[in-house]
Amino acid sequence: MPLPLRRRPVDIGFIAFFAVNFVFVTYIIDLEALVRPATVWPPAPAVELIHWYGTRFDPLLMANPPFWKATMWIDVLFFGPFYLFAIYAFAKGRNWIRVPALVWAGTMLANVTIILFEERWGVHATPHFGPVVLFNLPWLLLPLAVIWRMRKEPFPHDV
């Protein structure tokens, strides 16, 4: 039997991160890039918030080039379902999530690194690189933390 979730506080943090990503990042922020201009979904206040951030800090988000859309498709088609499986697996202490979590972490690190290179040196480079990096830092640090967490048997057991 895996340790109860209450005795795995790091896993609670992962569950929260995956939940926020599923609900807000993947199916509001990222989906908005694919359905722009939005009609019914995402909700208008969310679109206004996304565009507020984009016009003030992130010209790449507003430019919405093809490579950006490709990363959004990866998020919507692959990461979104992964987040649901990961929430369940981390909550229940299921070891089958190890390989999918490692694949997610590697893909996320690659996507965010490519995006940040464009943010810094690309055609749509931001004049506000510091805040953009800070905003994207969770998507660099959490995949590294997941890799660390999954390096051996992911869910400790009662002995």
Query: What tens digit of pLDDT does each residue of 128-153 get?
Result: 999 999 999 999 999 999 999 998 77
Q: Of all residues in the chain, what percent carry a pLDDT higher than 70?
A: 99
| 82-105 average pLDDT score | 96
| 88-94 average pLDDT score | 95
pLDDT above 90 for 41: yes
pLDDT above 90 for 155: no
| 22-46 average pLDDT score | 94
| 74-83 average pLDDT score | 98
**Residue 86 pLDDT:** 98
| Among 131, 156, 144, 140, CA closest to 54 | 131
For residues 77 and 39, the model is more confident at: 77
Do 127 and 96 meet the contact criterion of CB atoms below 8 Å apart?
no
Neighbours of 17 (CB within 10 A): 22
Longest CA pairwise span in the chain (Å) = 56
Q: Chain-wide mean pLDDT for the chain?
A: 95
Number of C-alpha atoms within 13 angstroms, CB side, residue 62? 14
Instruction: Say how many residues make up the chain.
Output: 159
**Residue 148 pLDDT:** 95
pLDDT above 80 for 62: yes
**Residue 28 pLDDT:** 96
Q: Which amino acid is at 32?
A: E
pLDDT above 70 for 158: no
